[in-house]
Structure 1
Amino acid sequence: MSDNTFINEVMDGLKKEGYLMITDDFIDQLITTLHANVTIINTMTELAELETKMRGHLLPTGSRQVESLKNLSVKIAEIAFNVEDVRNEQR
């Protein structure tokens, strides 16, 4: 059993028993914050890409930073969408 499967089973069990109820205000604020973080990270990615181009790939870490930022942005977006799903299930 993967970690995600286990976590989902535990969360589903808590939700079914009524132990996992998060207020709508908290969830809405969390979703807003996560989406804002994605926007900021995407801007940082654009800046890192520009810097890498300007330096003519003299810094090998530049492209790694860009890929790392892109991956981080995707992961945070996935979390935001998962939180939205939880909110929709609770309503």
Structure 2
Amino acid sequence: MRLSFRLKHYFFSAFREFFVHHHGSLEFRAKIFALIIASNNDSTVESYVAVKSIGLQIYKNDEDRVNLLMLSTKELVKKLKIIMA
């Protein structure tokens, strides 16, 4: 991912509700993907590649929004693994 996107992501993660259009739907999709990935004990790279390809279909090739979906999913998977441990 580009450095500019990563910096923007760190800023947006704190204020995501204010800056991301339709934040609720993105967060809902990320939660669904995170539950599916976390249910399998190994979260592999292929899982996130699948999230990215599905996101490209959902968001019509909006690369920034797809990356936000993928990063939100990764954050939620990490939280779930901490809870389940």
TM above 0.5: no
* Structure with bigger gyration radius: 1
Q: Please give the TM-score of this superposition, normalised by the length of structure 1.
A: 0.33
Q: Please give the TM-score of this superposition, normalised by the length of structure 2.
A: 0.35
